[in-house]
Structure 1
Amino acid sequence: MAPRKHKPVFTPPPQDLRRRAVNFTKGFRLKLAPEELRKLEEVVERASDALSQDVAGKLRLLRAALEDVAAADTRADTAMRALRTLSLEIKGMGGMFKYPLLTAFAKSLNDFVKTIDQPTPIQLDIIAAQIDALYVVLARQIQGDGGRTERELLQALRQATAKYKNPARDTAD
C-alpha cells in the first residue's frame, strides 16, 4: 500500500523569534536606512580591493596550472584539478562584488575543464583564452556585463567550449 500524501503545513514563526533575530541595539534593522546602506557599501568596496588581490592570485595559479598541464608532466592531473577548483572559486567570487562578467568567464572555464582529462592543443588554447579574459576583466575592473565586445567574446568562448569539450566525460558528471 502506498503511503498517503499530505500537503505541507507552513507554520509562521513566533514573534519572539523575530525579536531575537533582529537586534535593535546592535547591527542593522530589517529595512536599511540610507546611512546604513552607505556603510555596507563601504565595507563591500574595501572588500573589493581584497577581492582583486585574491582573484589575481588565483589567476596566477590558474596560469601555472595551465603550464603544468601543457607540459604533460607528472603534475598534469593535479594541475587539471587545480584548474577546476580555482575556476569554480573565481566563479563564486565575481557576482558578489559586482563582477558578473568575471563570474560568467569563470563559469565558462569551469564548465569546460570539468569535462577534460588531458586537453588537446586546441583545448589548451581555449583554456588560455578564458584565463586571459579573466585577467582583462580584473585588470580593467569591468563591472556589470561589460559592453558589446565582452558579450561577443563570452559568446565566442562558449561556442568554442561547446565545440571542443570532451563529450565522453559529460555523461559521467
Structure 2
Amino acid sequence: MRNKPQFIPNRGELKRKAVNYKTGMEIKLDEATLKKMEQLVENSSAEFLSETVASLKGLREALGRAATEPSARKEVLDHIREEAFQIKGMGGVFGYPLLTEFSKSLHDFLKELEDLDELQQEIVSIHVDTLYVVVSHKIKGSGGPLEAQLRASLKAAVDKAKPGTKPAQ
C-alpha cells in the first residue's frame, strides 16, 4: 500500500534569492541599457560568424583527412560531431535558426555512426556546404522557399545514407 504524498509548504527561499528581492530593482531595462545590450549581441554576432567560417574550414580539412586516411575517420567523426553540436547551440542565440537546424541535422546524422563511409562523408560535406551558404549569405530567420527546398533535399540525402539502409540500385 502506498503512503499518501506529503506536501511541503513553500518557504519563499527562491523569492529571497531573486536579484531584485532586497534592492527593489526594476527588472525593466532602460533604453540606453537595451541599446548597449543589442550592440553587444550585434558585435558578438560578427565574431560568431567569423568563428563559424573558421570552424567550417576545419571541418572541410577534416573531411579531406577522412577520405585519405581511413585510420583517422573515428577522430574526424568525433571532431565533426563536436563542431556540429557547438554551431547548433549558438546559431539560435545570434538569430540564425537555419544554422541551428542544419547543424542539428548533421549532429543527429552522426550520432549513431562509428565510421564514415564514402556516402556518409558526402552527406557530411553537403551539410558543411549548406552551413557555408547560410553563413556567407547571412541568412537570418527560417529562410524562404529556397531554404525549404534545401531542407527537404538534405533530409532526403540523410535518409538515404542512414546506417542500415541500402541505396537503390
Band of TM-score, shorter chain: 0.7 to 0.9
Task: Note closer, same or farther for the CA distance 1:30–1:129 as it changes in structure 2 (3 Å cut).
Answer: same
- Give 5+ residue unaligned stretches, structure 2: none
Residues 97-127 of structure 1 show CA distances to partners (whole Å, capped at 9, x for unaligned) of 0000011111111111122222232222211
CA distance in 1, matches of 2:5, 2:99: 44
Alignment length (residue pairs): 163
CA distance in 2, matches of 1:10, 1:154: 50
Divergent runs of 4+, >6 A? none
- The aligned counterpart of 1:6 is 5
CA distance in 2, matches of 1:116, 1:23: 50
Listed as ranges, the matches of 1:1-173 within 5 Å are: 2=2, 4=3, 6=5, 9=8, 11=10, 13=12, 16-18=16-18, 21-22=19-20, 29-167=26-164
**Range moving further from structure 2, 32-41 or 105-114:** 32-41
Letter in 1 for 2:20: V
Task: Note closer, same or farther for the CA distance 1:9–1:118 as it changes in structure 2 (3 Å cut).
Answer: same
Residues 75-111 of structure 1 show CA distances to partners (whole Å, capped at 9, x for unaligned) of 2111111011111111111000000001111111111
Task: Note closer, same or farther for the CA distance 1:138–1:10 as it changes in structure 2 (3 Å cut).
Answer: farther
Letter in 1 for 2:17: L
**TM-score, normalisation: structure 2:** 0.84
C-alpha root-mean-square deviation of aligned residues, in Å?
Answer: 2.5
Letter in 2 for 1:92: G
CA distance in 1, matches of 2:82, 2:134: 19
- Give 5+ residue unaligned stretches, structure 1: 169-173
CA distance in 1, matches of 2:11, 2:52: 42
Task: Note closer, same or farther for the CA distance 1:153–1:12 as it changes in structure 2 (3 Å cut).
Answer: farther
**TM-score, normalisation: structure 1:** 0.82
Task: Note closer, same or farther for the CA distance 1:8–1:166 as it changes in structure 2 (3 Å cut).
Answer: farther
